[in-house]
Structure 1
Amino acid sequence: MSEQVRVDEVLASLLALCHPLEPFDMPLLDAHGATLSEDIYAGERLVMKAGSRIRSTQIGLAASIGLDHLPTRPHPRVVVISAGPDLVEPGETLSADEEYETNSWLLTTAVREVGAVAYRVHSIPENEDQLQAVIEDQLVRADLIILSGERHDDSFDLITRTISKMGEVTSVEVAIESGGRHNYGQIGPDKVPVITLPGDPVSAYISFELLVRPMIRT
C-alpha cells in the first residue's frame, strides 16, 4: 500500500531530483521568455535581477546599454506522456469504457505556461512494452518526464511497473483531497527525473501546480 505523505515532504524529495541547467549566453531575440541567470549592471547600477523572466522591456533595456546577448538559464525540456488501453485521442469515436485522452493536452500547455519547452507524445501506449519503448525513445530530449493515465487505477499500475524497471522509483499517496497516488524518481542511464500524476484531469492539474511547477522553475 502506498504511504500517505504531506505535500511539502513530497516536494522536497522532488526538488532534490532536479539540478539547475548550465547557464549560457543567448542572442537578445532568442533570450526572450528565458530566465536571466545573472544580475545585469549599467555601470554600478543594477538594472536586471537574476531569476527574472526576460520580456520585451528587458530586451530593450539590454540593447540600450549595448548588450547583444544575455546570460540565461535554458528552458527545461519536459516530455508529457499518457498511457492506458482505454484512452482515445480527441476527434476519434469512443467505444464502451473508453475515455478521451485529456491530461497530455492539459499538462503540455501548463508546462509551456511555466516557461519550459514541452513535448507531447502523440502515441498512447497500451502495455508495458509499448510504454517502455516510448519512454526510452524520449529520454534523450528530456530534462523531466511527466506521465499520467486513465481515471481508474489500472493504468497507474501499468505505469508504475514500467518505470520501476527503468530506474529508482518511489510510490506515494499525497495528502491532498483527491490527490491519489503518485510516482517519482529517476530513470534511464542519465537518471532523468520522472513523475506520475493522477489520471483524473482535475487532480492531475492540482498536482502539477503543487509539485511539478516548482520542479520546472528550479
Structure 2
Amino acid sequence: MASVLQALAPMEPIEVPLAEAAGCASAEIIGTGPQAVPARTTLRGPHLAMAARAGMARIAVSPRPRVVIVPVGDGGQDDAAPDGDEATPNPAGLEDACTLLVATALRDDGALVFTAPHRDTGDGIALRGTVEDQLVRADLVVLLTASQAMAEACGVLQALGSVTVSDSGAEPLGVVAHGSVGPDATPVMAIAADADGTFVATEVLLRPVVRRLLDREALHSPLVRARLRGWIPGSGPARRFIPAVLGVEDGVYAVSPVPHADHDFASVARANALISSPPGAVSNDDGSTVDVVMVERAPA
C-alpha cells in the first residue's frame, strides 16, 4: 500500500481570496517571526484574520481534491420491497451504502466528493464510458465494486491507462487496483464493496491518498499501543485489521474488538479504531498489548 502513496504527487497550489480559503491547507507562511503560521496549516477564521491584518488579500492554498466515487453494482435492487408494499423499507444496495461511508470520511479530510452511480452490465462498455465522463472533473476516481464486478472494473481501468491489480496484503481489504488513466493521468483506485473491507480501505488507504493530494505532513492516522480487552485469533499470512472500540482505563489505552453483528454495518458503526494484527501473529489474550490505528473523525 505504500507504493500507492509513493506514486502520487501533491496537487499544485492555487491562489484564492481569503474569504474562500477557510478549511484549505495553506501553501505559504502567514506572518513573520515566532508568531508566523506555518505552511500546511488548515486555515480557520483567526488565521485568515491575521492574514488580512498583514495586508494579504489572497493566499496560496492546496486545493481541495475532487474525488468521484463510482459504485459499481446492481443499483440496490437485491433487497427491494415487493411491488405495492410501501410499508416495507427499500434498503440501499451495498455499493451505495459503502459510497456513503467513504464519501463522509473523505469530506472530513477536506475532499470535494461526487458520486457517479453505475449499473453493472457485464461487458465493461458502460463502465468505461462512466469513468471517461468523470475524468474532466476528477482529481481522483474511486470505484467501489460488487465482488462479482471486480474483474470487470479492473479490466476497464487497465484498458484506460496504467493500472496495477494486486493483493493488498491486508485483510479484509483484499485485492486493490490502483494507477492512473486518461490524458491527464488521473489517479484511480478500485476496491471491493463490503462493510468491513470498505471501512478498512477508507482508513488505511483512501484517507492517506487524499491527505497526500492535500500535501499534508501526516498521511496516516495515529498508531497507539493499547491493552486488549477480550481475545483475538492469530493472523494468517496477511496483516489483519479488526474494528474495535478504543478508550482509556487507568490512564492507559484499552481496546475491545467489536463483536460481529447481524447487520453488515453495525460493527463498523460502533468502531472508533482498528486493531492491527501483523502477518503471522499468534492469538492475543485479554490483557496483552496490541497496535491500534485511531479512526479520526471531524468534530461534531
Structure 2 length normalisation: TM-score? 0.62
Equivalent runs, 1:91-170 vs 2, <5 Å: 93=81, 99-100=93-94, 101-127=96-122, 128-150=124-146, 153-170=147-164
Give structure 2 stretches of 5+ with no counterpart. 84-91, 213-300
Distance 1:94 1:59, change over 3 A: farther
Q: 1:182·1:197 contact (CA, 8 Å) conserved in 2?
A: yes
Q: Give yes or no for the alignment of 1:78 onto 2:67.
A: yes
2: CA distance, partners of 1:117 / 1:137? 17
Cα shift readout 1:100-145 (whole Å, capped 9, x = no counterpart): 4212222122211110111111443433111100000001111111
Q: Report the alpha carbon displacement of residue 90 of structure 1 after superposing the two structures with TM.
A: 11
| Structure number having the greater helix percentage | 1
Q: Report the alpha carbon displacement of residue 193 of structure 1 after superposing the two structures with TM.
A: 0.9
Distance 1:94 1:113, change over 3 A: farther
Of 17, 25, 28, 2:18 maps to 28
Q: 1:185·1:194 contact (CA, 8 Å) conserved in 2?
A: yes
Match of 1:6 in 2: none
Distance 1:48 1:202, change over 3 A: same
Pick 1 or 2: higher relative contact order, CA cutoff 8 A, min separation 6.
1
Runs of 4+ in 1 over 4 A off after TM superposition: 89-92
Distance 1:91 1:178, change over 3 A: closer
Equivalent runs, 1:36-75 vs 2, <5 Å: 36-42=26-32, 44-75=33-64
Cα shift readout 1:61-93 (whole Å, capped 9, x = no counterpart): 222323222211111111110112x33179964
- Structure whose CA Rg is larger: 2
Tell me, what secondary structure is at the counterpart of 2:119?
coil
2: CA distance, partners of 1:213 / 1:94? 38
Q: Report the alpha carbon displacement of residue 173 of structure 1 after superposing the two structures with TM.
A: 1.5
Q: Report the alpha carbon displacement of residue 27 of structure 1 after superposing the two structures with TM.
A: 0.8
Cα shift readout 1:26-54 (whole Å, capped 9, x = no counterpart): 11110001110112224x34421111111
2: CA distance, partners of 1:154 / 1:78? 24
Q: 1:17·1:193 contact (CA, 8 Å) conserved in 2?
A: no
Q: CA RMSD in A?
A: 2.3
Distance 1:178 1:61, change over 3 A: same
Give structure 1 stretches of 5+ with no counterpart. 1-9
Q: Percent identity?
A: 28
1: CA distance, partners of 2:148 / 2:159? 17
Match of 1:181 in 2: 175
Distance 1:110 1:124, change over 3 A: farther
2: CA distance, partners of 1:155 / 1:94? 26
How many residues align? The count is: 202
